[in-house]
Structure 1
Amino acid sequence: MLQVCFDQKYREVDLSGSESELMELRDALLSVSYDPSLPGLIGTEVDFDPSPYPHKLVNITICIDDGPNLIHVNENKLFITGSSSFLKILAQNVAYFEDSSELADGDHIHYDKIWPDSPLDEASLDLIITLNNYRNCS
């Protein structure tokens, strides 16, 4: 299962998983972007130490909304919202991990507001997506 950690101070979420787990996230993003009536709920691992982050999140909910992606946390749950086209952009970023044979464990991408024309809403948290095939849950 995906592991999701959160730090309010730095306004970032770290989402990590194996190649197959990350592709399940990509598929869920695409499914909801094509058909908003589909369930966009993904369970996450809860039995691990989130260090260096102070919080772990218990699930991911993907929803269609107007405008850019908004990554936010409410009651220890991660919400990813955005228009169909913006959810597809996030899915394309997650697809970076599709063939992880050339990647090292710990390789990651930043999905944040640093670059011009960011697909993230100004109020959004930043998102780090990490390939983590060999994690040990505590």
Structure 2
Amino acid sequence: FGVVTIYVLVSYGIIIGTITGYLISQGHGETFLSFVISHGAFELTAIAIAGGAGLMLGNAVLHPGQRTRLENLQVQGREAVQIAGGAVVMLMIAALIEAFWSPAAIPVYVKFTVGGVLWLLVALYLSVVGREVIYGSEVLVTDETETQS
């Protein structure tokens, strides 16, 4: 019911935080952070999104509303699979960046600049895509679903 999802997310956060803290304390912060900043925009966001999809499943069972728990799990499960699919695409992008860009002998300031731009692009994308815009009594949906009056 979401407990495993929360456990995995917290564990991952502790591991990454511990490694980051250790490397910074040993004087390797700039090297490590310049390596992870670019692919981290996609990888860390994908992990959070996948965690959200997992929590959707737990919430579907705990709060079925007017549906049976199984019906709600099926409905929410379809949406969670689509969301997780988007996270998989983000992980593939992160893998390409991590394989070819992150280890490249590029000046640190360039890696930090590109990484910052990638974080901004991911944030911009997530703040725009799939949002509903409400004007008066109309709901204009920004994805493929129909406009309601």
- Same fold, TM exceeding 0.5? no
More helix by share: 2
Structure of greater relative contact order (alpha carbons < 8 Å, 6+ residues apart): 1
More strand by share: 1
Given the two structures, how large is their TM-score scaled by the length of structure 1?
Answer: 0.29
